Amino acid sequence: MKRYQRIRALIIAIFLLGVALQGCARTAGPQEYRKDIFALNTWVNIRIYAGKEGPDILDKAIKRIEEIENRMSVTIQDSDVSRINSNAGKQPVKVHDDTFEVIKKALEYAEISNGAFDITIYPIVKLWGITSEHPRVPTEAEIQDKLRFVDYRNVVLNEAEKTVYLKEPGMGIDLGAIAKGYAADEVARILKEEGVVHALINMGGNVVAMGGKPNGQPWRIGVQDPRAEGARRHIAIIEVMDGSVVSSGDYERYIVDIYKKTGKRYHHIFDPSTGYPANSGLMATTVVAPNSIDADALSTTVFIMGVERGLELVDKLEGIDALAITFDKKIYTSKGLKGKLIVTDKEYELQP
């Protein structure tokens, strides 16, 4: 009898312990899988919730990114873009459907922004070489000389043949302000096809949120601190269930004029009307849109156009919102973003 009591006490103790430890166990269901790689000249992160096929899905997504890079990179010798550029003024070049689609979209944005967004900026980009090993501040004469080649209206598309032709020798295109957005959309498409519901994609700052968090809450996307340099550090938060958030700014890649000791900052986003880094009074812009290709192109566009013209353009576009941060740390928002932005850094002042 006594022995039974003892055994019973032990069993109860072990049972209680078991119950207690159970609380620690994680619940089953889709697991989180992450992949971080360097591609498209930037740092790419993909986070998905999936079953054990998760790693295969991620590999598929990465392959697609590499494919896009090989077709659209301006530094890869045999990419579509390099071939288009080396045949400028000579002949039309047949390209992959995805390259064609991206160039077509880029020309649409050139049209609605009156040329503020212009992929034919490449001769200017090359002249300054901000992202190259030897960046420099060119002379006014050099800039004027290259600016002659900047005009999106001289890009000729042939829809039936899927060819792209640059009319003038010396012209060149650079898809750097739109290709990452396209790649992010493509990753999202692949994830959806594979049955992934909840995911977060970050293509060098081009964020795509899918399906909210697994617990039903929206994804919380930080707006980059424009003076955090290489650190990903935020000053505000935007909540998104489905959609893309992209920032552009003078902080991403720039040089400081140390030769003339002016300390002036020359960044990588050029104004096609001047040939100089855009100088519209903004440090940064962030655009929220259903598709990343739109958010990517528009973040650059708004940055070049400035607060008034930029936000006016965004207000005209259905389902798209933006914010712009001026040098005096004031945040201006488009109409649709009013009351939705959570500012977390007290140095920044949200304008009504």
Partner 1 sequence: MKIGDLVVYLFAAALVAVGLMGMYAMGTQGGDKSVVVELDGKEVYSCRIYKGMAPVEFRVDAGNGKYNVVSVTYEEVKIKEANCPDQVCVKSGPIRHAGQAIVCLPHRVVVKITAGHEETPDVDDIAS
Q: What does the binding site for partner 1 look like in residue numbers (CB under 8 A)? A: 2, 5-6, 9-10, 12-14, 16-17, 20-21, 23-24, 35-38, 41-43, 45, 47, 133, 200, 202, 204-207, 209, 213, 219-224, 228-234, 237-238, 245-247, 252, 286, 344
Select 233 or 316, whichever has its Cβ closest to partner 1: 233
- 3-class secondary-structure state, position 99: helix
What is the closest distance, in whole angstroms, from the C-beta atom of residue 2 to partner 1 in the complex? 7
Select 8 or 90, whichever has its Cβ closest to partner 1: 8
Best CA proximity match to 234, nearest among 339, 333, 308, 325: 325
What is the closest distance, in whole angstroms, from the C-beta atom of residue 129 to partner 1 in the complex? 13
What is the closest distance, in whole angstroms, from the C-beta atom of residue 303 to partner 1 in the complex? 13
Q: What is the largest CA-CA distance in the chain?
A: 104
Output the six-digit token pair for 162. 């899927």
Select 113 or 299, whichever has its Cβ closest to partner 1: 299
- 3-class secondary-structure state, position 207: strand
What is the closest distance, in whole angstroms, from the C-beta atom of residue 72 to partner 1 in the complex? 19
What is the closest distance, in whole angstroms, from the C-beta atom of residue 253 to partner 1 in the complex? 8
What is the closest distance, in whole angstroms, from the C-beta atom of residue 273 to partner 1 in the complex? 27
Select 68 or 221, whichever has its Cβ closest to partner 1: 221
Select 205 or 272, whichever has its Cβ closest to partner 1: 205
φ, ψ (nearest 5 deg) of residue 342: -105, 105
Best CA proximity match to 291, nearest among 315, 318, 312: 318
Select 111 or 229, whichever has its Cβ closest to partner 1: 229
Select 245 or 304, whichever has its Cβ closest to partner 1: 245
CA 200/CA 274 separation, integer angstroms = 37
What is the closest distance, in whole angstroms, from the C-beta atom of residue 11 to partner 1 in the complex? 9
Measured from the Cβ of residue 26, the count of other Cβ atoms closer than 10 Å reads: 6
Give the sheet arrangement for strand 199-203, strand by strand.
Answer: 31-39, 42-50, 199-203, 206-210, 243-249, 282-289, 321-326, 330-333, 349-350
φ, ψ (nearest 5 deg) of residue 8: -65, -45
Residues 6+ apart with CB under 8 A from 57: 33, 48, 50, 190, 191, 194, 196
